Amino acid sequence: MAKQVLSLSLLLVFLFHCTTTSGQPAQAPTLPAVAPAAPANAPAPPGPPDVTKILQKVGGFTILIRLLKSTGVADQLRGQLNDSSIRFTLFAPNDNAFSNLKAGTLNSLNNEEKVRLIQFHILPTYYTLENFQTVSNPVRTQAGDNKPGDYPLNVTSVGSQVIISTGLVNASVSGTLYSNFQLAIYQVDKVLLPLDLFVAKPPSPAPAPAPTKPKPKKTTAAASPETSTTATPTVVNSGAVSLATHGILVSLGVAVLIATFSL
Ligand X SMILES: *[C@@H]1O[C@H](CO)[C@@H](O)[C@H](O)[C@H]1NC(C)=O
Burial class (CB in 10 A: 0-12, 13-18, 19+), 43: exposed
Distance separating alpha carbons of residues 167 and 19, to the nearest angstrom: 70
Please identify, using beta-carbon distances, which residue of 82 and 245 lies nearer to ligand X.
82
Instruction: Confirm or reject binding of residue 138 to ligand X (CB under 6 A).
Output: yes
Question: Of 165, 172, 182, 224, which one interacts with ligand X (CB under 6 A)?
Answer: 165
Based on CB atoms, which residue is closest to ligand X, 180 or 245?
Answer: 180
Task: Decide if residue 60 touches ligand X (CB under 6 A).
Answer: no
Do 173 and 188 contact (CB within 8 A), yes or no? yes
- CB-CB neighbours of 120 under 10 Å: 23
Q: Which of 96, 111, 137, 230 binds ligand X (CB under 6 A)?
A: 137
Query: Which of 7, 27, 70, 82 lies at the binding interface for ligand X (CB under 6 A)?
Result: 82
Q: Please report whether residue 167 would count as binding ligand X according to CB under 6 A.
A: yes
Cβ(49)–Cβ(183) below 8 Å: yes
Numbers of helices and strands, H then E, in the chain: 9, 6
Integer CA distances (angstroms), 89 to 52, 107, 200, in order: 14, 26, 26
- SS3 label, residue 175: strand
- Does 154 contact ligand X by CB under 6 A? yes
Please choose, out of 30-38, 164-172, 207-215, 227-235, the segment that lies near ligand X by the rule CB under 6 A: 164-172
| Distance separating alpha carbons of residues 254 and 228, to the nearest angstrom | 14
Residue 25 interacting with ligand X (CB under 6 A):
no
Q: Which one among 76, 125, 131, 170 touches ligand X, defined by CB under 6 A?
A: 170
212/230 Cα distance (integer angstroms): 10
Q: Cβ closer to ligand X: 78 or 114?
A: 78
Alpha-helix residue ranges (DSSP H) falling in the chain:
2-21, 51-58, 62-70, 73-81, 95-99, 111-119, 195, 225-230, 237-262
Which of the stretches 76-84, 90-98, 176-184, 208-216 binds ligand X when contact is defined by CB under 6 A? 76-84
Q: Which stretch binds ligand X (CB under 6 A): 21-29, 65-73, 165-173, 216-224?
A: 165-173
Binding to ligand X by residue 176, rule CB under 6 A? no
- The count of residues interacting with ligand X (CB under 6 A) is 11
* Residues found near ligand X in the complex (CB under 6 A): 78-79, 82, 137-138, 152, 154, 165, 167, 169-170
